Structure 1
Amino acid sequence: MNSKTLLLLAFISGPLIPQVFSAEGQLSSFQGEAKFAIEGIYGKGRQPNVVVAMDGTVLATFVSGEALLVRRSEDGGKTWGAPIILGKYKHIFSGGGVTVDETSGGIFVFAEKYRWPANPPPPTVYQSGDHGRTWQVQETVIHPTKSGHRLTMHMAEHGITLRRGKHKGRLLRPARFYGKTGDRRENFPKMYNIAIYSDDGGKTWFPSSPFPVMGTGEGCVAELSDGRIYYDSRRHWDPPGSKYDRSMRWHAWSDDGGVTWKEPAISKVLPDGARGSIGGGSGCMAGLVRLPVKDRDILLYSSCDSQGGDRKDVSVWASFDGAKTWPVKRRVYKGP
């Protein structure tokens, strides 16, 4: 997403962050007097990602020029520390996927030397063990698929730690395959979304099965209270003669900890961003998060909602039943 300013969009109700972070709490933490704030914390650049460390520190990553940056806030976004440079080199790219390990407290940021449209080399993984104060490069293995496809981390929402079932503690984040020659239109029918997962604290990652719809990319994942995982995806290509509304998002489900995906379907509510951008179904990268409320499946989805090609009318949709319905929508930012 191109942006002159990283906008931190926050729905705030009650205390921003408790002194001791708990993975899941009560609904009352999100109830009370409604407040909304927008604050620019970076200048010109793109590729933002926002996560919360295990001590409650908010971390916002961003690429500005040839530098991958992170800023920290220890008071829920009221004030921010100076930018920390994680990496600086030509063609640096960090299109999301920041992952917090809720078991160890470690944080992982993935960066690639991406010279579009060619496939990038394997990513550099920056790791922090002190809630984002200091960082170091971690030696990391990301295995290819059974077909030998080497995956890219380019443009994805943040990763998650699974909290339930026999895979509790597993790290899971979206990834993708562009095609053997990269992000080129002739590869659109061959590209697909996927996920990678780690059971050793982020040192080694394995690929899931592909997202069960071709032409997809730029995904988001969320674990529900019953342990199922919801995968929401952008789609760049549709088979000729498709009768559905190509401007809407796709989703699929996993009940085995993100190893396989099934039941693909197209949303009747959630748009795929700017509907006239690039082509049907190729609107914009989106955001997805499940509120950390015990035994409740409240999801927030965010993306552009413009009818034309401009990436504007940034909106948030809310689901209170684990993505079955999305009854609430609010526009939070009008401009491109």
Structure 2
Amino acid sequence: MILNCYKSLLIAMIAGFILSFVTACSEKYSDLPREDESVKIPLVYESGLEGYACYRCVAMVVTHQKTILAFCEGRLNDCADEGDIDLVLKRSTDGGKSWGPLVTLEDDGANPCKNPVPVVLPSGRILLMWLWNYSIPSEKDRTTRDVYLSYSDDDGVTWSESRNITSEVYLDEWGWYGLGPCHGIVKEREPHAGRIIMPSRHEENRSHSHILYSDDNGETWNIGAISPVEGTTESTVAELSDGQLMLNCRNDTDYRIVLLSDDGGETFYRNYVDSYLIQPVCQASLLNHSMNPVTGKSNILFSNPADREERVNGTIKLSEDDGNTWTKSYRYSNPYPAFSGYSDIAPLEN
């Protein structure tokens, strides 16, 4: 039975080594046919339970201790984008088979706390960047936001007091601001190996995606490359086999816009439309999974609702050549007309 599908979240185990954290229906297990009916999909957050009417805007990382941290927005009264919204977290220490209790990380009453973007550093520290703004009645009342950062040094059990980093990541002429929502990355290759990269966006007449980066483990932050393409919004980032960065952006067309940086995210030297990655104007997520022994390039995974008109057909696609072509796909959501919205992906050891 399909219920109001955008009101809860789940973890789907894909091929034993990928987790996809996606929106789904409010059932203990989703049992409608998918491409692999042997895959059971346990819910992590269920709408109407644990104090919140709705859960949205997901982000996920796997820590050095192999703990899965599943972040999202807990929307207190309804699923609207404005309202009383908190940042919440659940942890799994057994590969997603079971989950600990919901923990509210940030709650400022009617003022929303939104857009989680976590990243795991080489030291094991987990950073969490997020957004705050004064309560507003509707989207037309949007002005600016504050950007905050917190961290955990104990596998996500406890978190530092958040600090305001807005002055480091906001230009005076920018209006409304966004992060991800999805995971950030740490560059593993030159140029700028060790640099933290966070996908972001801002309004300046129209929306533009951009990159935030830190070269000192998150102590200070810089505004990096800004998309020259108007209308790019929510974005996700992956590092390619040669150290380039690929920023993949939501926009107001049927296809994803891709931007490439060869200087660690300080500038973009190319942008193009990827006509294979269709979208219904929705968030998506990228992940560099591994090196491909045949092509010598990175295996890149892409997750989104694979449809031009509706948020349905949640699908993971595989590129075996750094995102130049997409050779395989796996539909993890229930079939049409079941809703499938925002997602994030993270690797698990098998």
Same fold (TM over 0.5): yes
CA distance in 2, matches of 1:90, 1:286: 28
Extract structure 1 runs of 4+ deviating beyond 6 A.
none
Kindly indicate whether the alpha-carbon contact (under 8 Å) linking 1:230 and 1:252 is maintained by their aligned counterparts in 2.
Answer: yes
Which of 128, 153, 174 does residue 149 from structure 1 map onto? 174
- The 5 Å alignment of 1:187-336 reads 187=205, 190-236=206-252, 246-272=253-279, 274=280, 283-293=281-291, 296-308=297-309, 310-333=310-333, 334=335, 335-336=338-339
The alignment status of 1:38 with 2:41, answered yes or no, reads yes
- Equivalent position amino acid for 1:47 in 2: C
Question: Identity of aligned pairs, percent?
Answer: 27
Kindly indicate whether the alpha-carbon contact (under 8 Å) linking 2:59 and 2:181 is maintained by their aligned counterparts in 1.
Answer: no
Aligned to 1:79: 98
Aligned to 1:101: 121
- The 5 Å alignment of 1:45-194 reads 45-64=55-74, 65=76, 66-88=85-107, 89-113=109-133, 115=136, 116-117=139-140, 118-142=142-166, 143-144=168-169, 148-149=173-174, 152-179=177-204, 187=205, 190-194=206-210
Which region of structure 1 is more displaced relative to structure 2, 210-219 or 137-146? 137-146
CA distance in 2, matches of 1:54, 1:130: 10
* Structure 1: unaligned runs, 5 residues or longer: 17-32, 180-186, 237-245, 275-282
* Structure 2: unaligned runs, 5 residues or longer: 20-35, 48-54, 77-84, 340-350
* SS in structure 2 at match of 1:61: strand
Kindly indicate whether the alpha-carbon contact (under 8 Å) linking 1:253 and 1:262 is maintained by their aligned counterparts in 2.
Answer: yes
CA distance in 1, matches of 2:154, 2:260: 33
Select the structure with the greater relative contact order (CA < 8 A; seq sep ≥ 6): 2
Residue by residue, what CA displacement relative to the aligned partner does 1:116-158 show, whole Å, maximum 9, x if unpaired?
Answer: 3413431232321111010122325342466753672344331
- Equivalent position amino acid for 1:131 in 2: D
- Equivalent position amino acid for 2:163 in 1: E
Equivalent pairs counted in the alignment come to 291
Kindly indicate whether the alpha-carbon contact (under 8 Å) linking 2:178 and 2:201 is maintained by their aligned counterparts in 1.
Answer: yes
Give the 3 Å change call, closer, same or farther, for CA 53–109 of structure 1 in structure 2: farther
TM-score with structure 2 setting the length: 0.76
- Equivalent position amino acid for 1:325 in 2: T
- Equivalent position amino acid for 1:317 in 2: K
* SS in structure 1 at match of 2:233: strand
